[in-house]
Amino acid sequence: MNVQELFDLKGQVALITGGGRGLGEQMAEVYAEMGCDLALCSRKKENCEEVAERLTREYGIKAQSYTLDVTNETQVEEVVGQVLADFGKIDVLVNNSGATWGASVEEMPLEAWNKVMNVNVTGTFLMSKAVGKHMIDQKYGKIINIASAAGLTVRPPEVTNTIGYTTSKAAVIHFTKDLAIKWARHNIYVNAIAPGMFRSKMTAGTLAQKEKAVLETIPLRKIGDENMLKGAAIYLATKASDFVTGTVLSVDGGSTL
pLDDT digits (tens, 9 = 90+) for 73-84: 999 999 999 999
Task: Share the mean pLDDT of the chain.
Answer: 95
Residue 256 lies in a domain: no
The reported pLDDT for the residue numbered 41 is 97
Total tally of structural domains belonging to the chain: 1
Residue 103 lies in a domain: yes
CB atoms within 10 A of CB 203: 19
Residue 62 lies in a domain: yes
Residue 239 lies in a domain: yes
Q: What global pTM score does this model have? A: 0.95
CA 171 – CA 189 distance, rounded (Å): 18
Alpha helices of 8-156 — where are they, by DSSP H?
Answer: 22-33, 45-59, 73-87, 110-117, 123-138
The reported pLDDT for the residue numbered 213 is 82
38-47 pLDDT per residue, tens = 999 999 999 9
Least confident window among 96-100, 153-157, 165-169, 218-222: 153-157
Residue 257 lies in a domain: no
Domain containing 15: what range? 3-251
CA 123 – CA 97 distance, rounded (Å): 8
Using alpha carbons, select from 241, 245, 238 the residue that is nearest to residue 178: 245
Catalytic sites, residue numbers: 148, 165, 169
Has residue 205 got a pLDDT over 80?
A: no
Burial class (CB in 10 A: 0-12, 13-18, 19+), 115: middle
Domain containing 105 — which CATH number? Answer: 3.40.50.720
Mean of pLDDT values over 189-204 = 88
